[in-house]
A = this chain, B = another copy of it.
C-alpha cells in the first residue's frame, strides 16, 4: 500500500536522476532486452523511453544502459553493472524509507479522502 502513495525521486539539479518511473523502465529493459520492447510493455513511446534512458545516462558519471547498434530501434539494450547497482541502491532506499517512516506515513494516509 505504502508503495503506491509514497514516491521518492532523486534529483540532479532540476532533473530527476532516479525515481519510480525510471526504475521501472530499467527493470523492464532488463527483462525485455531492448528499449523498444520495454517501451511497448510500459505503453510509452520509444522516443519517450529513449529520452528517459538518455537523461539517466547523462545524469550519472557512467551509463546505466548500453545499446547495441543496428536497425531503426537499435539492436537491443541492457543494463550495465553500474545500472544494476544504481537500481538496487534506489530500490533499497525506497524500502528503507518506507520502513523508517511507517508511523508518519500512516498519520498522513489515514487522513486522506478515498481517491480510488
Contacts and interface: CB of A to CB of B under 8 A. Distances in A.
A85 B58 contact: no
A93 B104 contact: yes
A32 interface: no
Nearest to A86: B108
A93 B7 CA distance: 12
A101 B85 CA distance: 15
A43 interface: no
A7 B90 CA distance: 13
Interface stretch (A10-18, A34-42, A45-53, A67-75): A10-18
Nearest to A109: B10
A10 B6 contact: yes
A85 B113 CA distance: 16
Given A6-B9, A8-B97, 18 more contacts: A5-B10, A5-B11, A5-B12, A6-B10, A9-B9, A12-B112, A12-B113, A13-B116, A15-B115, A59-B113, A59-B115, A86-B107, A89-B104, A90-B108, A92-B101, A93-B101, A96-B101, A100-B101
